[in-house]
Amino acid sequence: MKPVRDKQSPFYVSREEFKDDQYPDFCSLDNGFVLSASSVRDVLFFARNETLIKFPDVFLGILASKTHINTKLDPSFGSQALEPNIHSCEVRLSMSTFTYISDPKIQWKALVNTTQLRKCLVPDIDVVVPKQTNNERYFDQVLQYLHNNETLCSSVKDKNYNVFVVSLISSHVRNYKQRNAIRKTWGSQHLFLGRNVRYVFILGKVEGEKEAMTQELVAKEAQKYGDIVQGNFQESFKNLTLKVVLGLKWTTEFCSDAAYLYKGDEDMFVAWRNVIRFLLETSDKAGKEKMSRFFVGKHGRQSKNIESEESILRQ
């Protein structure tokens, strides 16, 4: 945003107040913002010697720039203003937002009304699942395929090489680079020790005008590689469970002849030769009957908090 130099404007800022022709990125106070507590001391230090500007959000942006703070602009802050007649399904997508009303009691009651929130076009799973023992109607709605390849497993025509393992990889819709890295590395081969592996990336969706390009790129990616399965639910941490359920649904419908299902994420590395060898050797020892109901992996425990890149490496 550029400073207004028209002296008649209420937004006028002189060259003495701010000399540059472009403001640094700043977060609007109308919709709230989050600042790391460790940065407050530095911001306050520079505030003592910086020319005051009557617009506090711009002033904070200038201080953030001087202290080399990484300013991230997220549309979830203020994505929808809180008007008297606005529906709670629209407001729930915003982290904090401007309100045109003096007493938001009616809107607040609507936002905490789980009965109403369940009626949203794509309700959050934590609103639906805890108090709904039958998820069938919800699943019918959100587990629709926006992108799919029904023939990914059936394209293995040679009966000697039927799909042994179908690999379901949860991936964020925007993370094309991670998916492509997998396609070029541990997902580049399909045959190990005479057994066939097929790879499927499970995605949610993003909406809005700014995300239209993302969806277009996913459509091109799905057409090019044929390994994208995208569900009709929002990409969010709360909806990771839906990705798993979508993968199970897809497997039963389009890859039911696979002997095993592997579930992983885009930030993993899989040594498939070792996996296949383990399955073959375990099958020989346990017998096919026991292997027909088989669930193996590392014992689940409470995850460590990941606070930095170094903590990721340590884990």
Q: In the predicted model, is pLDDT for residue 49 greater than 80?
A: no
At 163, give phi and psi (nearest 5°).
-65, 120
Whole-number pLDDT of residue 311: 33
Whole-number pLDDT of residue 289: 57
pLDDT, greater one: 300 or 289: 289
Instruction: Write the Ramachandran bin of 79: left for phi over 0, alpha for psi from -120 to 50, otherwise beta.
Output: alpha
Give the C-alpha separation, 24 to 44, whole Å.
18
When pLDDT is cut at 50, 70 and 90, the band that residue 236 belongs to is confident
Give the C-alpha separation, 171 to 266, whole Å.
5
Q: Which residue, 191, 189, 181, is CA-closest to 267?
A: 181
Give the C-alpha separation, 140 to 142, whole Å.
6
Q: In the predicted model, is pLDDT for residue 39 greater than 60?
A: yes
Q: What is the pLDDT of residues 80-127, one digit of tens each?
A: 555 556 566 665 555 555 555 555 565 566 666 666 666 666 666 565
When pLDDT is cut at 50, 70 and 90, the band that residue 150 belongs to is very high
Give the C-alpha separation, 266 to 203, whole Å.
11
Whole-number pLDDT of residue 285: 75
Whole-number pLDDT of residue 303: 43
Whole-number pLDDT of residue 65: 84
Q: What is the pLDDT of residues 161-211, one digit of tens each?
A: 688 999 999 999 999 999 999 999 999 999 999 999 999 999 999 887 778
The per-residue pLDDT of the chain, averaged, comes to: 76
Integer CA distances (angstroms), 123 to 90, 106, 129, 139, in order = 11, 20, 10, 11
Q: In the predicted model, is pLDDT for residue 140 greater than 70?
A: yes
Lowest mean pLDDT among 51-65, 244-258, 270-284: 51-65
Whole-number pLDDT of residue 282: 80
Give the C-alpha separation, 151 to 154, whole Å.
5
Residue 149 burial (CB < 10 Å; 0-12/13-18/19+)?
Answer: buried
pLDDT, greater one: 260 or 229: 229
Whole-number pLDDT of residue 130: 53
For the record, the structure tokens of 88 come out as: 């709670």
When pLDDT is cut at 50, 70 and 90, the band that residue 225 belongs to is very high
pLDDT, greater one: 223 or 94: 223
What is the average per-residue pLDDT within 263-274? 88
Which residue bears the tokens 């203020």?
A: 78
At 285, give phi and psi (nearest 5°).
-80, -40
Residues in the chain: 315
Whole-number pLDDT of residue 15: 87
Q: How many CB atoms lie within 10 A of CB 117?
A: 18
pLDDT, greater one: 296 or 140: 140
pTM recorded for the entire structure: 0.60
**Domain spans in the chain, listed from the N-terminal domain onward:** 145-296
